[in-house]
Amino acid sequence: MTQDLIRLFDRDLDKLVAELELFETEDSLWLTAAGVGNAAGNLALHIVGNLNQYIGVKLGGTDFVRDRPAEFALRDVSRADLVERLRRTKGMLETVLGGLDAARLEAIYPEEVLGYAMTTRYFLMHLYGHMNYHLGQINYLRRVLHG
């Protein structure tokens, strides 16, 4: 299962990079539209923070320090910086997920993030879905902003 998750995260993080590159200007990464609360750049930062916190730190013991409020407050992070953060996140996922065995997947995740106990396998699937939810938002926002 971990190899499948690695391939899926890798594929869809590449899609995220492609979406960011389709925004016409770097400034447009920080725009929203009517009824849309978060800019694409902020959603990309949120995906990076979320995956690094819940997979990197909690499962891999990385030294990543999350600043969740900044994920939604920062503006004008360059596209190149966003892409680099996503590239590093992909590397972290390959390392951490590649090191998980079947017993670790079936173990209870070390934090009740959703308010209840769940297996690590379950939470990893949740994280993959969460990432894609935001990827869809970024795609939608790009099409609204750029036609």
What's residue 60's pLDDT? 98
Question: Among the CATH numbers 3.40.50.970, 1.20.1090.10, 3.30.413.10, 1.20.120.450, which is that of 2-146?
Answer: 1.20.120.450
Quote the strand ranges of the chain, DSSP E. Answer: none
Quick one: which of 32, 130, 31, 20 has its CA closest to 85?
20
Q: How many CB atoms lie within 10 A of CB 22?
A: 14
pLDDT digits (tens, 9 = 90+) for 86-117: 999 999 999 999 999 999 999 999 999 999 99
What is the reported pTM?
Answer: 0.96
Please give the average per-residue pLDDT across 80-84, as a whole number. 98
